[in-house]
Every structure is written in structure tokens, then in C-alpha cells.
Amino acid sequence: MKKTFFLSFVEECIMDPSWSAYVGGRIEVYETGPGANQYAIEEIRFLTKKQKAYHRLRGKWDFEDATAKELEQLRKKITALNEKEKE
């Protein structure tokens, strides 16, 4: 049986109006299966202006299970979203 992880996207309020074009928050990662911890084992942070790409990821993965390989791919995609755009 492959180990899987449950994903939950949590958006956080950005109060500073100069950051109004951004979406930020965390992805909480939970172990699944027998004996799994009830608490998140990891938080993947994000802060990005790339809202369309973020919403596509959230639409695909929010409240879904991911394999270890899929989780690693998601981490890489979030890292790419977090990278500062060239001005």
C-alpha cells in the first residue's frame, strides 16, 4: 500500500493594501492511513501574485490525497509560484 498524504489549502488574510494583488497562506499536509497523526506533519507556505496558477493548483489538490511523488511535485510547483517575477 502506497503512503498517501491529505492536503488542505488554507488562505490567510493579507491586511496590507500594498500586497492586495497577492494570495498567501499554507498547504497543510496530513498523513493518512492506520496510525496516522491527527495533526499536520508539514506546512507548505505560499505568497504569490500568480493567482490563476495558484487557483488551478488549489482546485486540483485541495482536500485530496497525494502520493509522496505527487507531494514532491506540488512542493516544486509552489516554490515556482513563490519566486519573484522579473520586473
User: Whole-angstrom Cα distance, residue 20 to residue 8?
Assistant: 23
Task: Output the CA torsion sign for 7, 52, 82, 79.
Answer: positive
- 85 pLDDT band, cuts 50/70/90, is low
The pLDDT score that the predictor gives to residue 69 is 96
Q: What is the pTM of this model?
A: 0.89
pLDDT for 6 beyond 90: yes
For 45-78, how does the pLDDT look when each residue is reduced to its tens digit (9 = 90+)?
999 999 999 999 999 999 999 999 999 999 999 9
**Three-class SS of 20-43:** CCCEEEEEEEEECCCCCCCCCCEE
Cell numbers 492506520 correspond to: 34
Question: How many angstroms separate the CA atoms of 64 and 48, rounded?
Answer: 22
Q: How confident is the model at residue 1 (pLDDT cuts 50, 70, 90)?
A: low
**Domain-by-domain residue ranges, the chain?**
4-82
